A and B are shown apart, each in its own frame.
Chain A
Amino acid sequence: MQVNEEKFEPTIVAFCCNWCSYAGADLSGTNRLQYPANVKIIRVPCSCRVNPMFILRAFQRGADGVILCGCHPGDCHYTTGNYFTRRRMTLLFSMLEFLGIEKERTRLEWVSAAEGAKFAATMNDFVATVTKLGKNRRLEDLRCKK
């Protein structure tokens, strides 16, 4: 099916915490490290601000992959936020997989403000992975049409 599609451009939503990952994303820009334009970043104060509702909403509205980036465990600007994130996302991603949504479409990564290169590499990898999976076909027909 996917073979027929000439060039599939997935929609990727990236939630980045303000203190580490958003700064890391800025750094990959400052260093001119490229990653695909499919990635659109939403800035949140902390990865723990990301409500499972946001991720479901993104899938519902047509996202093909959702990635969440936060400070490394132990480095959270708010001390403990990312630890809660890790538990929440562990359960949520597992649940989404349980419902039949490929695990590769969700990802949690720790990217520090110094890891511009890691940010770009992560995004390149994630976009490649989701592109390979193809359109989030599973949900396409069921999506809430606006």
Chain B
Amino acid sequence: MQKMMQDRARELLSSGKVDRVLGWIEGDFVYDVTPHVFRENDIDQLIYHSFASQNLSKYLVGETKKDGVIAVFLRPCDSYSFVQLLKEHRFDREKVYAIAIPCLGKVDAEDLRAMGIRGITGVTDGKERIILHTLYGDVEKEKSEVIAERCRKCRGVHAPYFDERLGEELTKEPLTDRFEMVEKLEKMTAEERFAFWQDELSRCIRCNACRNVCPACTCEKCVFDNAASGIENKAPASSFEEQNFHIIRAFHVAGRCTDCGQCSRVCPQGIPLHLLNRKFIKDINSCYGEYRAGADLEEKAPLNRFDVDDCEPGDVVGKGE
């Protein structure tokens, strides 16, 4: 796959069809992958394996401000963000060449470490299995055992939108119910829920990693950085302050969040921020019908439309208990 992508990228660059290629590059370690803009000279370094976790869509917001056309590789789940951004006019479609690629399932080094797999030097991706080469020898695993939580609950069956496809389209069924944890929380008492979130959110150090990685958080200037907004708040004044930030952030991306799970992936404190987004998704689905952000360019987002006989807040709030 990686080879196929390199070849195609080279072709596109040399033909002049695109000027740059957005892909992934390895750092010092195999699992230390970052997004990178390639040109003809460094295209050999383009990699694609299970550690290439980042959703590249968001980088288009910045990249398309430059001249020339950029090619981008999109897994199915990433392409939902791509469509959502396109729908919000966040980048110039003319300047992007979208290449759909199949997903290998994303693996986080943190998770592997927790399983006792250390010293990783390389990785070989199979369809169902994965071989991790380590300083202590190879470890072979079922993919489903090691992939990230967000991938275990993947709904990305096929890309909704692209210019061309590389590799075969995979057909994947969602593996488990993604609302399991939300439901579990809903069943708790208010006290327990509060304790849960106080415990989680009080760890927030306001590093803004969640905001930076989120493909829906692309505001020119975040409302929390804006003195005129009346809620400017750059550092955590208190843990409730954090709740405020995270609730507002979740509210701002409600109906726009593609449930890519990047927010939780990058959180250095391991706060399960995606649960906030999933709570909104769950409520939206149950109140206003199934909706998937980024599945369609035209459909109005649930918060931008209404039905005259929508439910009242009282009909929904309190259902969990």
Nearest to A98 among chain B residues (CB) is B279
CB 8 Å contact bits of B304-321 with A (1 = contact, 0 = none): 001110111111111010
B237 & A94 in contact (Cβ 8 Å cutoff): no
In the complex, chain A residues whose CB is within 8 Å of the CB of B243: 56, 99
Knowing A94-B283, A108-B312, the reply to whether A99 touches B194 (Cβ < 8 A) is yes
Tell me the chain B residues, 266-321 only, with Cβ under 8 Å from chain A.
276, 279-280, 283-284, 287-288, 302-303, 306-308, 310-318, 320
B313 & A106 in contact (Cβ 8 Å cutoff): yes
B313 & A73 in contact (Cβ 8 Å cutoff): no
B244 & A87 in contact (Cβ 8 Å cutoff): no
The docked-state distance in angstroms from the alpha carbon of A95 to that of B186 is 10
CB proximity of A55 to chain B, nearest CB, Å: 10
Contact of A52 among B239, B247, B316, B318 (CB under 8 A): B247
Knowing A83-B306, A86-B312, A100-B193, the reply to whether A142 touches B280 (Cβ < 8 A) is no
Contact of B240 among A60, A95, A96 (CB under 8 A): A60
In the complex, chain B residues whose CB is within 8 Å of the CB of A142: 198, 238-240
In the complex, chain A residues whose CB is within 8 Å of the CB of B251: 52, 91-92, 95
CB 8 Å contact bits of A106-129 with B (1 = contact, 0 = none): 111000000000000000000000
B197 & A99 in contact (Cβ 8 Å cutoff): yes
The docked-state distance in angstroms from the alpha carbon of A103 to that of B312 is 13
CB proximity of A16 to chain B, nearest CB, Å: 17
A94 & B247 in contact (Cβ 8 Å cutoff): no
Indicate if A3 sits at the interface (CB-CB under 8 A).
no
Contact of A93 among B186, B196, B239, B317 (CB under 8 A): B317
Contact of A60 among B195, B244, B317 (CB under 8 A): B244
Knowing A52-B251, A99-B247, the reply to whether A144 touches B240 (Cβ < 8 A) is yes
B310 & A91 in contact (Cβ 8 Å cutoff): no
B287 & A90 in contact (Cβ 8 Å cutoff): yes
CB 8 Å contact bits of B3-42 with A (1 = contact, 0 = none): 0000000000000000000000000000000000000000
- Prevailing SS type, chain A contact patch: helix
CB proximity of B184 to chain A, nearest CB, Å: 12
Indicate if B263 sits at the interface (CB-CB under 8 A).
no
Contact of A99 among B193, B238, B308, B312 (CB under 8 A): B193
B194 & A91 in contact (Cβ 8 Å cutoff): no
Tell me the chain A residues, 31-87 only, with Cβ under 8 Å from chain B.
52-53, 56-57, 60, 73-74, 80, 83-84, 86-87
In the complex, chain A residues whose CB is within 8 Å of the CB of B231: 53, 57
CB proximity of B283 to chain A, nearest CB, Å: 5
The docked-state distance in angstroms from the alpha carbon of A86 to that of B312 is 6
In the complex, chain B residues whose CB is within 8 Å of the CB of A96: 247
CB proximity of B173 to chain A, nearest CB, Å: 28
Nearest to B250 among chain A residues (CB) is A95
In the complex, chain B residues whose CB is within 8 Å of the CB of A101: 190, 194
A56 & B244 in contact (Cβ 8 Å cutoff): yes
Nearest to A145 among chain B residues (CB) is B238
List B residues at the A interface (Cβ < 8 Å). 182, 185-186, 190-198, 223, 230-231, 237-241, 243-244, 247-248, 250-251, 254, 276, 279-280, 283-284, 287-288, 302-303, 306-308, 310-318, 320
Can you pick out 19 interface pairs between chain A and chain B where the beta carbons lie within 8 Å of each other?
Answer: A53-B223, A57-B230, A60-B240, A74-B308, A84-B306, A90-B283, A90-B310, A91-B254, A93-B317, A94-B313, A95-B251, A98-B186, A99-B243, A100-B190, A100-B198, A108-B314, A139-B240, A142-B240, A143-B238
